[in-house]
A and B are shown apart, each in its own frame.
Chain A
Amino acid sequence: GAGVSQTPSNKVTEKGKYVELRCDPISGHTALYWYRQSLGQGPEFLIYFQGTGAADDSGLPNDRFFAVRPEGSVSTLKIQRTERGDSAVYLCASNNGLAGAEQYFGPGTRLTVT
């Protein structure tokens, strides 16, 4: 079946601009996770949704970052006033929401802030 998809695959934006990154989870998965991966590092947790609500947003670095999942399926990560330090690969993952269930990752969106 279809895996997790993310769009766009690459995004180049200028410092100070606003960007939106989209994640389509595996159909039927109630839990959705956003991570940020810098070059040469493992993923860094940002936020976790269970259904439509953010169950844990403790990883969001500051108030420029925001994510929504209005219908409990597709999610959008929004970054305001982008900074060069925001450049990274943003990964999305989903699972069935059960404790300890394996997460299935998408291919990521590579964000470059110039």
Chain B
Amino acid sequence: GENVEQHPSTLSVQEGDSAVIKCTYSDSASNYFPWYKQELGKGPQLIIDIRSNVGEKKDQRIAVTLNKTAKHFSLHITETQPEDSAVYFCAASWDMDSNYQLIWGAGTKLIIKP
């Protein structure tokens, strides 16, 4: 079955610097890759997603890149701010119409140092 690995488990960056979180997946049939942000005491919130027919997608300070050949995708956050501190999860699915059947990574705790 599908497996998603996420690195690093913890990432500490200086406010204003960029942060990069990387994920790899095992099932080449996967075609939908969302990223979620989870703040303490809250449920996950979708922040950006990408489909397998697209190599890169940007939304203001966040961007996701996808390399289908290598089966990895990454989240990039530029000009980090204190409110970016949270746990970030990547996920993969072979069917974006059934986006509840996601295989999730283990999460990355992002710490923004003032």
Binding site for B on A (CB under 8 A): 4, 33, 40-45, 48, 56, 91-93, 99-103, 105-108
Cβ of B45 and Cβ of A99 under 8 Å apart? no
Chain A: CB-nearest residue to B105? A42
Q: Known interface pairs A91-B43, A105-B43. Does A42 touch B99 (Cβ–Cβ under 8 Å)?
A: no
Given contacts A42-B89, A42-B91, are A103 and B46 in contact (CB under 8 A)? Answer: yes
B106 within 8 A of partner (CB): yes
Is A43 a contact of B106 with CB atoms below 8 Å? Answer: no
Kindly state the separation between the CA atoms of A101 and B49 in the bound complex, as whole angstroms: 12
* Nearest CB of B to A58, in Å: 8
Chain B interfacial residues counted at CB < 8 A: 19
Contacts of B105 in A (CB 8 A): 42
Decide: B43 and A100 in contact? CB cutoff 8 A. no
Asked if residues B101 and A108 are in contact (CB atoms below 8 Å), the reply is no
- Whether A45 lies near B97 (C-beta < 8 A) is no
Interchain CA distance A42-B105 in the complex, whole Å: 6
Known contacts A33-B100, A103-B100; decide if A42 and B46 are in contact (CB<8 Å): no
Return chain B residues, CB-CB under 8 Å to A56. Answer: 100-101
Question: Are the CB atoms of A108 and B43 closer together than 8 Å?
Answer: yes
List B contacts of A48 (CB < 8 A).
100
Evaluate whether A105 and B100 lie within 8 angstroms (CB atoms) in the complex, with A42-B91, A42-B107 already known: no
Q: Is B61 close to A, CB under 8 A? A: no
Residues from 44 to 90 in B contacting A, C-beta threshold 8 Å: 44-46, 89
Interface flags for B88-110 (1: CB within 8 Å of A; 0: not) read 01010000111111101111000
B101 touches A45 (CB 8 A): yes
Looking at the assembled complex, report how far the CB atom of A67 sits from the nearest CB atom of chain B, in whole angstroms: 14
